Structure 1
Amino acid sequence: MNQPYAEVIGDPIAQSKSPVIHGYWLARLGLEGRYDRAHVKADGLGEYFATRRADPDWCGCNVTMPHKQAVIPLLDRLDPLAARIGAVNTIVPEDGALVGYNTDAPGFLEPLREDLARTHYFRMARVLGTGGAARAIIAALADEHMVLVLAGRNMEKARSLLDELDPHGENHVAPLDHFADATDFDFDDREGCLDLVVNASALGMTGQPPLAFDTTHAPPGSVFYDIVTSPLETEFLKAARTAGFRTVDGLSMLIGQADHAFRRFFGAIPPRGDADVELRERLMA
């Protein structure tokens, strides 16, 4: 008997942890359905969507690299947030139309919700990296009224990203290597402020160069957030924790974005809270 299913597409795709997340939630809820991986190359995207459109059991797909922008011309409609970010990671069939969403942005913010719910005198985020992942993060933080310092190797690209995604914000750019060496900068009183330091790049990921960031560039009380999931405990986070800062790892964003996608695919709210502990254990196994 056929059953409803969703999947994740990308090239490569074997590394994706999404099937573990969605499979765990389906089992916990006792829902009929499954979540698969599909290896789809760039020249096969058109055929993939033509086939899935005709499949009544297909509930949609997540999109991972390198297709988050390439899929856009093949869709019928974009959610306004996805259109603004210029990247799609969740596609759902709705009344015969393929609709693109971006759940990376709300997924990124999820572990920060308690902080963001408070009132602050000032909010600043130092965002490291100007690649595809940074687009959703910049948009998400701009909507939370954060002043952004975007650091990248290419200053012109950094400024262009800020101008595109937060044109009315009072934001700044900096060279990435500015943060590599220690500083004796004397930060002002941060009581009542929210400061974030976010690695939005692949630096520090297994097989990639390390991210050079000296923690003296972070104001007291900053939250360090790394979107890298392999390794989960990056040198960036280790150094921050050693220096006494609070940290958020990459699984937080991964699970958060999957939550929003799962609701659209299967029409159900995934089990969270205590269930996250077991899910994390499975993801790290």
Structure 2
Amino acid sequence: MSRPLITGVARLGGIAGNPVTRSLSPVIHNAWIAAAGLDAVYVPFTPRDPAGFDTLVAAGRAGLLAGINVTAPFKEQAFALADQASDTARASGSANILAFRDGQVLADSSDGFGLLMALREQAPDLNLPGAAVVVLGAGGAARAAAAALAGAGGQVRIVNRTRARAEALAADLGPAVSVMEGPDALAGAVLVVNALSIPPEIDPGRLDPGTVVMDMTYRPVMTPFLVEARRAGLTTVDGLAMLIGQAGPSFQAIFDVLPPDVVLRPLLLAHLGEPDDGVVS
């Protein structure tokens, strides 16, 4: 995979967050750029604070950037700065994609798309319409997950240590999303999604047989939560599959082309220093 020539008409994209040094997005997008032979580059941006992020978006509005992905802690700010937002971004109240076109800022969110794609790939027998699903956490990742799962027909239960924050999230997302506490929250759930940045205080061995367990983090790819779930005989879905899934719409929004057909998982596992697990995504 050779590196294409960068010329004076190169398109500049990137990812903005703080911290962002461990992001795999530059690895993904630059692999696609190289495979497609685009005159483009995708780089990391680390605004120090909200004012710095405002400056970055202003640069995009001024024509200096084609678009950016956005990660913590700027997703809600990205949504607020947009001139137009997709239905998906409005549903989650945040954006992980900003595209800059003719002085306008266009916001979208592909986190939910990535989550659903990961479920289709690694838990193909999961049936969401009408089913109880549990989301652990009430932050930005949980908001995107809950919005996507509710949109797919799931009856979403938010479980969070701070009930007030969970209730605020549920109020924003509508009647398909509720707040539950204690062991009853997990009863009958077909899916449990960890949207926390830490391992949850849940024993997967106590979940119903057939429950699918997903962790939205990917360092390591097989998190302790997923390891325990697999030991309990449950189907697991990892955050790396979600990361790859959400990247496709981002690439198209930023560079105006579909991503080329590149098998990314082995490349990303090698970058993480983890063995190739044979999963295709």
The question of a shared fold, defined as TM-score above 0.5 by the shorter chain, is answered with yes
Alignment of 1:1-285 (within 5 A): 1-2=7-8, 3-41=10-48, 42-55=50-63, 58-113=65-120, 122-165=130-173, 167-169=174-176, 171-175=178-182, 178=183, 195-204=190-199, 211-272=200-261, 275-285=263-273
8 Å CA contact 2:14–2:45 kept in 1: the answer is yes
Q: Deviations over 1:145-174 (max 9, x none)?
A: 112221110223223322221x22274411
Report deviation, 1:54. 2.4
Q: Give, in whole Å, the separation in 1 of the partners of 2:144 and 2:163.
A: 19
The alpha-carbon distance between structure 1 residues 76 and 172, as it changes in their structure 2 partners (threshold 3 A), is: closer
Separation (CA, whole Å) in 2 of partners of 1:221 and 1:108: 19
Q: Secondary structure at the match of 1:62?
A: strand
Whole-angstrom distance in 1 between the partners of 2:228 and 2:67: 39
* Per-residue CA distance 1:82-138 (angstroms, 9 max, x = gap): 122111110001343111111111111112236678767852212111111100100
Decide whether the 8 Å contact of 1:130 with 1:152 is kept in 2. Answer: yes
Provide the aligned length of Structure 1 versus Structure 2: 264
Instruction: Pick closer, same or farther for the CA change 1:64–1:195 going to 2, 3 Å.
Output: same
Unpaired runs of 5+ in structure 1?
Answer: 188-193, 205-210
Hey, what's the Cα distance between the residues in 1 that align with 2:177 and 2:92?
Answer: 19
Partners of 1:140 and 1:121 in 2: CA distance: 12
- Asked if 1 retains the 8 angstrom alpha-carbon contact of 2:194 and 2:215, the reply is yes
Residues 166-207 of structure 1, C-alpha deviations (whole Å, 9 max, x = no match): x222744115xx49xxx9x8x6xxxxxx81111011113xxx
Residue identity over aligned pairs, in percent, reads: 33
Contact 1:228 1:250 in 2 (8 A): yes
Q: Deviations over 1:1-45 (max 9, x none)?
A: 321120011122212111001011111222221100111122212
Alpha carbons 1:107, 1:260 under 8 Å: kept: no
TM-score by length of structure 2 reads: 0.85
Residue 255 of structure 1: CA displacement?
A: 1.0
Deviation at 1:55, TM superposition (A): 2.9
Instruction: Could you tell me which runs of 5 or more consecutive residues in structure 2 were left unpaired when the two chains were aligned.
Output: 1-6, 274-281
Root-mean-square deviation (CA, aligned residues, Å) is: 2.6
Equivalent AA in structure 1 for residue 268 of structure 2: R
Structure 1's 33 and 145: CA in aligned 2 closer, same or farther, altered over 3 A?
Answer: same
Q: Is the 8 A contact 1:59 1:266 kept in 2?
A: yes
CA-CA distance at 1:233 after TM superposition:
1.6
